Amino acid sequence: MTFIVIGIDGGGSKTHAIVADEQGRTIAETVGPASAVRPGQAEASANVIADVVRDVLASCEMSHVTPRGLCVGVAGAGREAERHELWQALVARDLASELVIHSDFSIALDDAFGDGPGVLMISGTGSVAFGRGPTGATSRCGGWGPVCGDEGSGAWIGRKALSVVTAAADGREPETALTGAILTAAQVNETPDLIAWAAGAAPSQLATLAPVVLSVAESGDLRANALLSLAVEELALHVRALARQLFGDERAALQVAFSGGMLTRGSAIRKRLEHRLKSAVPGATIRSEPVIAARGAVRAALRIVGEAMV
């Protein structure tokens, strides 16, 4: 083995790291806490990423080895200001010989399609769609963050569920089984207690309510099912928008891949989304292979090593 590289996928709920050799073969991997970068909080993200790098190197007894390349694909790094701030913070920590920062959706697209065309829909704590067209042009849809966007994501579903529960408490909506389930998940006794809980809840905490909504929907609750249908429609709109922008028409033939905790294979939302895309984006063919964003980051790390050696 000549050298090693590390690929990082940093999201709003967890950080996945892979150590690989010069051929891209996985040596070790680990999962750490969330490292999504928020405006003005690059240092906090850098601390988590540095800890995960140290942990994954220790797991394969390579703590003494300096990786030749490190690619960090992290949620929030699609914004130039945050990407540059995070790059500076990580350079100061001297984690690798070569460092590159990408968005989380960029490394996921790399793993899904390589250099080829396709649309990737990500829904985890947040949501975003990213695609590459037949000409090589790329475009993004969504990814506006937990306040302005992230429609169809875990945090968005959790936030909407809170609104349903409070509306039911007012009598603005019918009673729903979501009320008891959400109170239990938030570990509070009464609906008014949700005010303080929600005020202090990070997006990752809001996203913990999404599985509750899925469970209540499966039991037949109409309001929970309506909320999931709305989430699916929002995700389908992301894919359709990129199909039109990059492929000219939603009826054009294109590959679609899914990533993120809400869209794991066999999940209720993924099944509904696959069905919805048959009419919303009739040209779409769904890729069944799992997308491992950290693996795409490994490829990017190998590329920067190759460029540095030229």
SS3 16: strand
- Cα distance between residue 147 and residue 211, in whole Å: 21
Q: Report in angstroms the alpha-carbon separations of 154 from 122, 162, 232, 307.
A: 11, 13, 12, 38
Integer Cα distance of 192 and 309 in angstroms: 61
Cβ atoms of 265 and 257 closer than 8 Å:
no
d(CA 207, CA 264): 15
- DSSP state letters, 30-57: EEES-----TT-HHHHHHHHHHHHHHHH
For the chain, 310 residues long, give each residue's pLDDT as a single digit of tens.
Answer: 689 999 999 987 789 999 999 999 999 999 999 888 887 888 989 999 999 999 999 999 998 999 999 999 988 776 777 888 888 889 899 899 999 998 888 898 889 998 899 999 999 888 999 999 999 999 999 988 888 889 999 999 999 999 999 999 999 999 999 999 999 999 999 999 999 999 999 888 999 999 999 999 999 999 999 999 999 999 999 999 999 999 998 899 999 999 888 999 889 999 999 999 999 999 999 998 889 999 999 999 998 887 765 4
Task: Answer yes or no: pTM beyond 0.85.
Answer: no
Rounded to whole angstroms, the Cα distance separating 160 from 209 reads 10
Q: What is the pLDDT of residue 304?
A: 86
Report helix, strand and coil shares of the chain as percent, to nearest 5.
50, 20, 30
Cα 246 from Cα 254, distance rounded (Å): 10
- What structural domains and CATH numbers belong to the chain? 4-110+292-309 (3.30.420.40)
Q: Quote the radius of gyration of the chain (alpha carbons, Å).
A: 20
Q: Nearest CA to 259 among 102, 125, 144, 134?
A: 125
Instruction: Tell me the C-alpha distance between 132 and 245, whole Å.
Output: 10
32 within 8 A of 52, measured Cβ to Cβ: yes
